[in-house]
Chains A and B, each alone.
Chain A
Amino acid sequence: MKRVYVNEKWCLGCHLCEYYCAFTQTDKTDMAYALRGRKIFPMISVEDSGAVHFAVNCRHCAEPLCVKGCITGALSIQDGVVRLDQERCIGCFTCILSCPYGAISPAEDGHAVQKCELCLSTNEGVPQCVKNCPNAAIVFEDRG
């Protein structure tokens, strides 16, 4: 299955991936009008420490602790992708506590969580963060 992999060596810490992720969640066609004056809630987050930067999003683990821990069944695995049904999420944040990568975060309204689903809804075949990374620091590959 194709997953997002991090090439930490090439990450510039530009944070563009976060903005493209946030943009994708809106229904707008122009990033300026979608995001201007708003705080963003991306599902990928860039960790910076000195010269080291890398972007973290959901690893889509084979045995995901978040899915195991979810008390409502809002999280499930579908074709290898860890999916979230926001309608069923009650915002208990058990998954946020159990994810070892910190890849799940509260959604903007704070009532449910949000997580990366590899841009499956965009039909572009490649997640927007990967598509717009200027230095191939995140890639979408099948590494078995």
Chain B
Amino acid sequence: MAAFDFYPDYEVVRNLDRCIVCRVCERQCANGVHSCLEEKNVMLADDSQCVDCQRCVLLCPTRALKIVKSDNTYKQNDNWGKKAINELIIQASTGSVLLSSMGNPETYPIYFDKLVINASQVTNPSIDPLREPMETRVYLGAKPAAVERDDRGRIKNNLPPQLKLSMPMMFSAMSYGSISYNAHESLARAAAELGIYYNTGEGGLHEDFYRYGANTIVQVASGRFGVHKDYLNAGSAIEIKMGQGAKPGIGGHLPGRKIVADVSRTRMTPEGADAISPAPHHDIYSIEDLSQLVYSLKEATEYKKPVIVKIAAVHNVAAIASGIARSGADIISIDGFRGGTGAAPTRIRDNVGIPIELALASVDSRLRNEGIRDRVSVVVSGGIRSSADVVKAIALGADCVYLGTAALLALGCHLCRACQAGKCNWGIATQELELVKRLNPDIGYKRLINLMRAWKHEIEEMMGGMGINSIESLKGNRLMLRGVGLNEKELEVLGVKHAGQ
């Protein structure tokens, strides 16, 4: 066989007129790409190890570096593209399942980009959010179907427990283990300051973070890692994770090298041993079984906390959501196929699941048609990239969105999609102390707050433009959307008209 499998996909380009041989790039690259040839005082690079995380590019003080996509090319072939060939070559030499991370990067349609938002002109006034009150607060949880009165005619408080958010956005489940302590601290502190929630993910809750409980959603997944009574009671809501958009139908696998001291204690699993979450919950094979878990968790927390059921967006998502709404769950969370992950088999990530826009529209329509939309709140995730996506998701019927990838980008992630290697140069998806310290939560939490505040302002502006002054009036208001370049079937599923109609 050849000396190496294939020419590297990315090349490190160093402008020698600008390089001062400070060796910052060398010190900052956990993949060992850069090195210094001391006797000649020049820097060298091993492109084959580069994951294009951009750490060296952004820390180089003289802007001497850039990473470019290699123009080395195979003979043009529209069927066998470079990616397909290279992946096959890797498998031929390793015999392994391909692993990837973060969301599906393939060229499927992005429906958010084919939906446009309405604005008021002449016949209904728009609202200036800087002058007039604008309500972005949302409450998540089941809403009572009717007003109930006691025998003396007084209104009974029959409102089930709710989550109160200052804006319709929260941070999605990312476990301690898959991301670092400092990433968790940043998310927790930002959620607390913003009056929203972050989600522990399936790895348990580090004892240091119990104090952010009022802004925490604790997750219970198929591996039940780190689940105990105090954990369940530590947060404000409990999420049962049935599925994840990046890898519907399969479980999780946190490699033993990420299970270091604190992670192992928090997960209640042995240090260094792989933590494997089974694909199904072994006690759930039906909606009735799910209902039992929902009520066990409610029992354990004295019916004081809403229970969320999280599923991946798959073909029959609407029917599944209808079942979940009847299972006693208070909130349904649906994760689309663009949703992120710390590690997933590439084939699953890139080929399984459906777009969140279509899943959301069909779930919302189904629950409305069945008259049970009020029984649950709907939270969506997997592909929300901006405040405009948030507005579109709410108009399609969501109560709130979960942000995972967007939050990590604010913390420094550059989507190199190499999380599974555990050597994140930005200190996020790693447990190596030398790397974890690169994310200073004092900086990180402020960046998250900046991002959320900026999006909130933008949401208010778009709402004002539509003449809407409350998120509640936007929810499921699909008349505020029009499709561009969508066919009849797509418009039908989305429940929107085409632009011009």
Contacts and interface: CB of A to CB of B under 8 A. Distances in A.
- Interface size class, chain A: 20 to 34
Contact of A14 (B41, B59, B64): B59
Interface stretch (A78-86, A119-127, A131-139): A131-139
Given A51-B434, A134-B59, A19 B28 contact: no
B22 interface: yes
Nearest to A9: B437
B17 A32 contact: yes
Nearest to A139: B442
A10 B440 contact: yes
A32 B27 contact: no
B57 interface: no
B443 A135 contact: yes
Contacts of B28: 12, 14
Nearest to A36: B20
Contacts of B62: 30-32, 35-36
Interface string B384-408: 0000000000000000000000000
Given A20-B61, A31-B62, A136 B443 contact: yes
Measured as residues with beta carbon below 8 angstroms from the partner, the interface class of chain B is 20 to 34
A29 B18 CA distance: 13
A13 interface: yes
Interface in B51-100: 59, 61-62, 64
Chain B: interface secondary structure? loop
A11 B427 CA distance: 13
Contacts of B23: 15
A19 B440 contact: no
Contacts of A37: 20, 41
B260 to A, nearest CB: 13
A136 B61 contact: no
A135 B433 contact: no
B24 interface: yes
Given A32-B18, A135-B440, A136-B442, A19 B61 contact: yes
A137 B439 CA distance: 11
B16 to A, nearest CB: 9
9 contacts: A15-B24, A15-B27, A16-B59, A19-B22, A19-B61, A32-B18, A35-B20, A35-B62, A136-B443
Interface of A: 9-16, 19-20, 23, 30-32, 35-38, 51, 132, 134-137
Given A9-B437, A10-B437, A51-B433, 14 more contacts: A12-B27, A12-B28, A14-B27, A15-B22, A16-B24, A16-B59, A16-B61, A19-B20, A31-B20, A31-B61, A32-B19, A32-B64, A38-B20, A135-B437
Interface of B: 17-20, 22-24, 27-28, 41, 59, 61-62, 64, 433-434, 437-438, 440, 442-443
